Structures are given as C-alpha cells and as structure tokens.
Structure 1
Amino acid sequence: MTTDAASAQQWQEWHQQRLDAVRAPYGPLSVTGTYWIAEATADGALEGVPGRWHQTADAVVLRADIMDGLMLDGEPLVGEAELAPGPQTTVRVQHGERRLELLRREGQWAVRVHDPSAPARRVFTGIRTTPYDPHWSLVGHFRPYQARREVRVENADGRERTLELGGEVVFTAPDAREHTLAVSVVGSGALWAVFADGTSGESSYRFRFLRTGAPGPDGSVRVDFNRATLPPSAFADGFLCPFPPPGNTLDTPVPVGERDVAR
C-alpha cells in the first residue's frame, strides 16, 4: 500500500469514528439547549429544566423534590445538592433519558440539556465531507508566542468571550502561498485552530475547527485540512463555539474536510 493510500485509509477510519461520535445518543446532535443560571427566576426556575438552580462563586446549588424526577449519581435527588465540578470536568444530572450537564464560562454557570430524542438526531443523515486529498495534508511550523494572548471573539450564541492563543502555525497551501493560523495550545501540547476560508458560508459551514498533534522539537507539525471538522454549533443550537479570531480567515478556498451537516 502506498503512503497516500495508507493515509486515505486512516482518514476513512477517522471519518467513520467522527460519524459514530456525532450521532451517539448523547453526542452533539442531542443538545436541545443551554440555559444560564444567572437568567433563572428569583426562585431558581429555568424554563424547561426541572429543579431550582442557584449559582455561587464556586458551585451550583440544585434543589429538587420527588415530583421533579431528577437523579444525581444514579440516586433520586430530594432536597439540596451542591454541584462543583473541577475546571476540566462536568457534572451530569439525569431526568429520564435526558442528561443535564453543568458547565461554566467566564464565571457564569449554565445547564446544557442532552436528549437522545432530540429532533436533530432524528433528521440527521450524515456529514457532507470531501474525499481525502493528499495535497491538503501539509507540513507546517509552529511559532509559539512569548506569552499567551487573549482575544475577545463572538461566540455562536451571540456573546463575546475570551479565546486564549498560544502561537501560530505557518504553512504553504497547494496555491503555493504561505498562510498563517493563530492556534490555541490544548491537552499535552496539541494545537487547535478556529478558521474560515474562501468556501465558508457558501460550500461549507461558516467556520470550522482544525486540530493537530503536538509539534516536534523543531516546531514542525502536520496540518491536515482533510480532518477539518464542523464545530458543535453546526449540529445543534445551544453550543457556545467561538468564531475565528482576527487573521484566521484564509483568503484561499479550503475544499477538503467536513463541509456541512446533511439532514
């Protein structure tokens, strides 16, 4: 098997794993809403969400009675419970088949509802995706910033939030021109970019995500646009995905990767 054929096979396996994750019972298609606790009524009621929700500086207090039908850690919740996930974790409360996920952004708490019976799951038929093209699997170079930078960008829910950037990746596209993307450093040094391009809003969704592995000691990194993915906000409302930061709209079409949701 040639190198390109092996890469295409690996991409096909990755694509299938993506489809399986997206259409999973509690995948992105299951999200039916995100509800900010600061917008609850005076007694803590959130429209369409059982229980009474109140936020403190470090936690959320949830009050429920037997009629609310809530489960916490597999046990009926009657009375009061303090929910305080760590910075990289979530707390899920069960309401029948629905999962109520607690999340926090810039000091504000919200409840995100996952429902396996969500309409988006019922009408989903796949992800429109361009077949693998080896010309768009590129070698790039990562240039870290001396200090991480914070920029304010609009999010998919219409609010502005901070996006932390750790450097930029420089690469030469098939158009033979050099391009640059600002990236965040995540996990064990992997890179993540939010970008748009000449196809955005036309033959592809308005923006996409691109993830890479950790750069090598010399800063080299594989930039494979075949694995550009749709953000969760493409699958369902209720996500807070950031839009591309300044400079991350490429002035060239990127005709590969995930394009849009098929319904």
Structure 2
Amino acid sequence: MAAQDPDRPGAPAEHTSWRTRRWEEVAGPRGTAGTVQLAMIPHPEPGVPGLPGRWEVSTSGALTLTATAADGVSLDGRPVAGAVDVESGSRVDLADGREVLVRGREGTFGIVVRDSSAPMLTRLRDIAHYPYDPSWVLDAEYRATPGRAVEVERLTSPRSTERVPAPGDLVVGIGGREHTLVVLETVPGLRLVVFTDPGSGTDTPEIGRWLILPPGEDGTLRIDLNQVILPHHVFSAAFPCPVPLRENHLPVVVDAGERAPVLDPNGGAR
C-alpha cells in the first residue's frame, strides 16, 4: 500500500482503520480496481462474451460450465474437461490469468471477472482524500419512504435507465441550510446517497461521490462525511454505477472524504 496523505492531528484510530479497509476494498485481491467484467448468466441462451466455454443455467436452476482441455479452464484448482456444475462461491481460473468469481442461487447467477494486470489496478498508488475533519461528523434524519422507486440513469455504454428502490430521504444540515437527499438501494440492504457538489468535475469526479448509510430505521442517524467514497466506476468501467439525481446536488462543497485515485504516471506493475 502506498503512503497516503496525512490526516490532521487527532484523526481517530477508527478512521485510520476504515481507510485501511477501504484500500483493501479497492486494491486488494478482490478489489474493484481489478474488476474487468460483470455479467449475469443468461437463460436459456448459453455463453458469456469474452469467456471461454459454454456457461448456462439448466432447467433445474444449476449453473453448468462446459469446456475442453484446450480452453485451459480450472474450477477451484481442478482442470475442466467436459461439463461441470459451478456452485455459488466458486472460482474459475482462465488460461490468460483472469479469474471468474461466481455468485447466485436458484437459477440466477452473476459473475465477476478479475484481472491482476488491469491497467487501473497496476497504476493505482493511493486514493487522495481530504484531511479528516470532525466537523463533518453530523446528525441527520432518515425518513423512510416505503415502496418508492425512482428513475436512475446508469453509467453503461451507451447509458441506460432503471427504476431503483428509493426507500428514504436523508435530511441533513450543511452550510447553515437543511438539505433533503434521496437514498437509493441499488443492492438489497445497502442504503446509498449519491451526491454532487460545486467541486464535482474539478476536485472530485463529475459523477459524484457516495455516502453509505449505517443500518437503522426512521429517526436520527450519525453520519461521517469523512467516509464519503468514490464510485466503483472511477476504478472500473465494468460497474454500471448510478448517476446522481438532480435533487442530490449540494450547493456547498463537501471537503471531506475521498477525492480521486492517485495513479503512477509511468504505469507498470505495483
């Protein structure tokens, strides 16, 4: 791990620990920076673009991979020659060094393809961030909006739209004003605020930044904007991240949290 920008004196130990965990999430063995492809296994049409072998979901709901010895594919360390069932949690290694991680159940399976030589991963040295500032630890109110969904644009190529659950609003005072931000649930159980501010597109990404909310029901939440993170899409275009809603633009710069990836200008392996 590269040396990171120093925090202001007095940054709590839990913040330092959080940053260490966050670096692992991005640059570790299962990190977002090494992800090069996400896909759902189609049914009934078999196959995944860019992957060897025949991937298909059977009528019984099992995921089957059919490959030849020449494909150079192995499942959890065992060479594949013929048809094998692939369980959720399995790892498939490809001849070119990529690995495929499988998740799913009951006929619905998704795959994550990782490449240890992905350009972003090999060039990534750090995640620039604002110095820790305790004034960005705030009390906010979460107001549930059961059954609500909103139309969200996705960072696909070309861009697409999708109706996404929006289970609540986050009401928070910033810059002397109260602001109401729409909370999305792009993954079940994960409450996410995707926002922009006047620094978006200059000091931070134009596609905004994320605040992941702690679990809880209606009522007061303690939020820490020092833990605002960069969207997955910043580290890998494979992630079809949501575009910030217009109503989630804050008129005040949030000079807290992550700012941008720090890349080795000369490239090369880490």
Question: TM-score normalised to the size of structure 2?
Answer: 0.78
Which whole-Å CA distance do the structure 2 matches of 1:60 and 1:190 have between them?
27
Q: Which amino acid aligns with 1:163?
A: V
Instruction: Specify whether residues 166 and 140 from structure 1 end up closer, same or farther in structure 2 by C-alpha distance, changes over 3 A only.
Output: same
Unaligned runs of 5+ in 1: none
Question: In 2 relative to 1, CA 109–247 (structure 1 residues): closer, same or farther, beyond 3 Å?
Answer: farther
The CA deviation at 1:191 is 3.4
Match of 2:122 in 1: 122
- Any idea what SS the aligned residue of 1:214 has? coil
1:11 aligns with 2:15: yes
Q: Percent identity?
A: 31
CA positional deviation for 1:131 = 0.6
Q: How does 1:85-234 map to 2 (within 5 A)?
A: 85=88, 91-95=90-94, 97-102=97-102, 111-145=111-145, 147-157=146-156, 158-173=159-174, 175-184=175-184, 191-205=191-205, 206-215=207-216, 219-234=219-234
Instruction: Report if aligned partners of 2:204, 2:260 keep a CA contact under 8 Å in 1.
Output: yes
Q: Are the equivalent residues in 1 in contact too, given 2:39–2:48 (CA < 8 A)? A: no
5+ residue gaps, structure 2, are 1-7, 264-270
Separation in 2 of the partners of 1:92 and 1:156? 27
Q: 1:156 Cα deviation (Å)? A: 1.8
Q: 1:162 to 1:92 in 2, by over 3 A?
A: farther
Q: Does the C-alpha gap of structure 1 residues 130 and 137 become closer, same or farther in structure 2, counting only changes over 3 Å?
A: same
In the aligned structure 2, how far is the partner of 1:53 from the partner of 1:254?
Answer: 45
The one-letter code of the counterpart of 1:215 is G
What is the distance in 2 between the residues matched to 1:190 and 1:46?
29
- Counterpart of 1:81 (choices 68, 79, 84) is 84
CA drift at 1:20: 2.9
CA contact (8 A) 1:204 1:260 kept: yes
1:188–1:26 distance in 2 versus 1, CA, 3 Å:
closer
